[in-house]
Structure formats: structure tokens, C-alpha cells
């Protein structure tokens, strides 16, 4: 007795659509129609369909199933071993993807080294606005992409400087000045504070230099970020350069 496509699909535990898809992929020969116009499947077709379903349920790609159905035992074992290795690679990729997705919950830790994240948390702790922290974070992302170790150490030194009351005052004043007019005379006072602090602050013998200033890619990216800064901050940077003693 032969079965219709619906009967064979129900017996094996697949959908009619799946059986037709296997026909289209060349995995399962399509039987001839009988006098009533229905395709009838014999026992060998049922066996082949069971093999196809078993392999597919095991994770074997459809593109490899036809090869495995015709393979000799040694060839079959070798092909299965290759598929198993490919699955291991995919598992590793998915595990890494899962780790990154989990990192999204942690926010900045996905994009930045721990030392820079500590700095951003330190800025939040002293009351710096999220607007300023976001701008600074984006700059650190640019630096850390090319120089993760140097950027992390520079951020750590900056976090250490936050122990100084004068440095905290400068940061908070800089943050507040974002909305000021570039002609506001208070910017001169902040520039004086910055230069006075820079003149006396000693980062210590273990301090490392910031990321290379001669890297054209970094300089171009940072220049682009600077263009987006508030006009008052750009003016403040100009005032500090004017007060700098130079080389």
C-alpha cells in the first residue's frame, strides 16, 4: 500500500510543506501520480524521509543532507565530524554574541575598558551632567579603540585627579559653562583655574603619556568631535591655549 503526501507527512512527523521543500531541494525523489492524480509514496520514500528528518533535527544543514544520504560509512563519519566542528564554532560565536548582548545591560562596559568606566562613574558621583559625560564618553570610545591601554591609564590618572577639590571644581564649572555665551567673562576665570591646577598638579612617577598625538586618524576623529562641542567650551579651550607657556 502506498501513502499520500498527507499520510506520509503525518506518519513521519513533518509538514506537507516540508516534504515539498525536500522535493525542491532534491533530497527526496518526487513520485509519479496515480490515476486519480495523487502522488503516492512507497516504503522506501518513507525511509528516506525519516533519514532526512533525523539529520535535519540533528542540526545537519539541508545542503549537506543529500551528500550524507549517499555516503559510505567512512565518508558519513567524516562529514558528521566536520558538521560537529562547525556547530562548535557556531556555539562559540553565539556565546560571544550572548556575552555582548548581556554587556548592553551594563551600558558603557560594552564599549570601554574598566578604567574609563570607573572615570565616568566618578564624574557622575561628583554631579557632572549626563550631557557632559556622554560627550566625554564618546571621545574615550574613539581613543580606546586605537589605544586601549594608554586611554585606560589616562582615564585612571584623571579619576585620581578627581580626589583634588580644585579639579572637581574645574569639572563642575566646565560642565555648567556649556550653556554660556562664548563672551561670558566667567570663562576667563575658569581658564585661570585650569592653568593654575595644571601648573601645580603632579600625576606621579607612574603616569603614562596620553595616546599618541601624531596619529592622524585619532587627531581627525577628535577634531570632528571638538567641532560638535558647545561654543563656550571651544572658547575655553582657546583661552587655555593662550595662557599656555608653550614648548
Which residue's C-alpha cell is 580606546?
Answer: 144
Mean pLDDT of the chain: 83
- Burial classification of residue 112, based on how many CB atoms lie within 10 Å of its CB (0-12 exposed, 13-18 middle, 19 or more buried): buried
For residues 88 and 205, the model is more confident at 88
pLDDT at 201: 75
CA torsion 99-105-109-114 (nearest 10°) is -100
Q: How far is CA 41 from the centre of its chain?
A: 50
Reduced to 3 states (helix: H, G, I; strand: E, B; else coil), residue 36 is coil
Residue 158: pLDDT band by 50, 70, 90 thresholds?
Answer: confident
Mean pLDDT, range 64-85, rounded to an integer: 83
How far is 123 from 121, CA to CA, in rounded Å?
A: 5
Reduced to 3 states (helix: H, G, I; strand: E, B; else coil), residue 97 is helix
Lowest mean pLDDT among 23-37, 89-103, 138-152: 89-103
For residues 192 and 109, the model is more confident at 192
Mean pLDDT, range 109-136, rounded to an integer: 86
Query: In this predicted model, what pLDDT tens digit does every residue of 4-25 receive, in sequence order?
Result: 899 999 999 999 999 999 999 9
Terminus-to-terminus CA distance in the chain, angstroms? 97
Q: Give, in order, the Cα–Cα distances in Å from 2 to each of 28, 45, 96.
A: 16, 10, 49
pLDDT at position 186 over 90: yes
For residues 65 and 107, the model is more confident at 65
Q: pTM value?
A: 0.52
CB 140 within 8 A of CB 151: yes
Q: Give, in order, the Cα–Cα distances in Å from 151 to each of 157, 160, 170, 211.
A: 10, 14, 21, 6
Reduced to 3 states (helix: H, G, I; strand: E, B; else coil), residue 183 is coil
Cell numbers linked to 97: 554574541
Q: Which residues pair with 3 in a beta bridge?
A: 41
How many other CB atoms are found less than 10 A from the CB of residue 187?
22
For residues 99 and 174, the model is more confident at 174
CB 113 within 8 A of CB 152: yes
pLDDT at 126: 92
Amino acid at each position: 500500500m502506498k501513502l499520500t503526501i498527507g499520510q506520509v507527512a503525518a506518519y513521519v512527523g513533518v509538514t506537507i510543506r516540508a516534504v515539498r521543500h525536500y522535493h525542491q531541494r532534491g533530497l527526496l525523489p518526487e513520485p509519479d501520480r496515480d490515476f486519480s492524480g495523487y502522488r503516492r509514496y512507497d516504503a522506501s520514500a518513507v525511509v528516506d524521509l525519516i533519514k532526512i528528518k533525523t539529520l535535519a533535527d540533528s542540526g545537519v544543514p539541508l545542503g549537506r543532507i543529500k551528500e550524507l544520504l549517499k555516503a559510505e560509512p567512512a565518508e558519513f563519519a567524516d562529514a558528521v565530524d566536520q558538521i560537529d566542528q562547525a556547530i562548535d564554532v557556531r556555539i562559540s560565536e553565539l556565546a560571544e554574541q550572548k556575552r555582548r548582548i548581556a554587556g548592553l545591560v551594563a551600558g558603557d562596559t560594552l564599549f570601554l575598558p574598566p578604567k574609563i568606566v570607573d572615570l565616568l562613574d566618578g564624574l557622575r558621583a561628583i554631579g557632572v551632567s549626563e550631557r557632559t559625560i556622554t560627550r566625554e564618553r564618546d571621545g574615550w570610545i574613539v581613543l580606546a579603540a586605537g589605544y586601549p591601554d594608554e586611554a585606560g591609564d589616562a582615564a585612571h590618572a584623571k579619576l585620581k585627579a578627581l580626589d583634588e577639590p580644585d579639579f572637581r571644581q574645574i569639572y563642575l564649572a566646565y560642565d555648567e559653562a556649556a550653556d554660556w555665551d562664548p563672551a561670558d567673562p566667567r570663562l576667563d576665570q575658569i581658564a585661570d583655574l585650569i592653568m593654575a591646577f595644571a601648573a601645580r598638579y603632579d600625576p606621579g612617577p607612574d603616569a603614562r603619556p596620553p595616546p599618541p598625538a601624531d596619529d592622524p586618524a585619532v587627531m581627525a576623529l577628535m577634531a570632528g568631535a571638538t567641532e560638535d562641542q558647545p561654543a563656550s567650551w571651544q572658547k575655553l579651550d582657546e583661552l587655555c591655549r593662550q595662557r599656555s607657556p608653550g614648548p
